[in-house]
Amino acid sequence: MPKIIVTGGAGFIGSRFVALLLENDLPGFEDWDVIVIDALTYAGSYQNIVGFEENKRFKFVHGNILDAPVIDDLIRNSDGIINFAAETHVDRSISSPREFIETNYLGVANILQSIHKYSKRYLQISTDEVYGSVLNGYSVESDSLDPSSPYSASKAAADLLVLSYKKTFNSDVVITRCSNNYGPNQFPEKIIPFFIKLLKEGKQVPVYGNGLNTRDWIHVDDHCKAINLVFHHGKSGEIYNVGDVEHLTNLELVEIILNEFSFGKERIEFVQDRLGHDFRYAINSNKIRSELNWTPVLNIRDEIRRLIKI
């Protein structure tokens, strides 16, 4: 059977991708074995993949993409790799940038060395934050990168390194840049699960600055289906933006959550804005929609209601 390596597969998005793959909800992967490698740091939890090992197509490796020999051995015996492994929280990158540079850049360098050596297909999971704050219009794949935080800078650097392997070695690489994800099993430092947790505990929710920062939200399942299409059908060397049309200010997002609890704005506590806080992210995803026939289907208001009930 062909084998796909999923790095960071015990994290939020990675574990959901593996779950859909094993449930045969991702066309093209029905007969593939999946090997997950994850360091099981704070954001990656074995609880996210409990039960997967009952499926004979699944294997787990406790390891780190910074361990070049381990990564090399896995890629040598695989048919492709999708890299979800990353440090992702902006606030943590401000207080501790080194680990972001190590995982998000040096870890990717290890992967690229091996996919070049063994001629494997590689999908790099990136972020819309590499474009920086977009005051007007929408970011397209050819736009210049303008990262604002150590996190987004480390991801931008990795993207450039990936593209350099296409230009220098003609490596089979593709990149997705996605907007903010939400969904089940998301680590509670992220805004939606964090606010749901605080409100269930009877606490107030902290909102940075004036709450007018704008983000584009997409459900993790819609994102995973886009990743599947890009891995199987994306053109080598190309970048694909993955975004929905759910552009919300942080205040609008909080109000959706508060309404589900029947709470008012008195539950909001405005706090000092964070350093390097981008005002607006907005990406144009026409490329993946037109070339790969991808369309998001899940509505954030309905899905937040489901998350609160979990």
* 176 in Cβ contact with 227 (< 8 Å): yes
* 244 in Cβ contact with 217 (< 8 Å): yes
Is residue 151 flagged as an active site residue? yes
Which residues does 296 contact at the CB level (< 8 Å), separation at least 6? 218, 219, 222, 244, 245
Is residue 128 flagged as an active site residue? yes
* 218 in Cβ contact with 176 (< 8 Å): no
Annotated active-site residue in 38, 87, 129, 278: 129
Annotated active-site residue in 131, 151, 182, 281: 151
Annotated active-site residue in 33, 38, 87, 128: 128
Which residues does 189 contact at the CB level (< 8 Å), separation at least 6? 43, 89, 91, 92
Q: Report in angstroms the alpha-carbon separations of 300 from 15, 24, 37, 296.
A: 20, 24, 30, 11
**74: number of CA atoms within 13 Å, CB side?**
29
Q: Tell me which residue has tokens 């943590």.
A: 92
Q: Which of 91, 106, 88 is nearest to 41 (CA)?
A: 88
Q: Tell me which residue has tokens 């059977």.
A: 1
Residue numbers annotated as active site:
128-129, 151
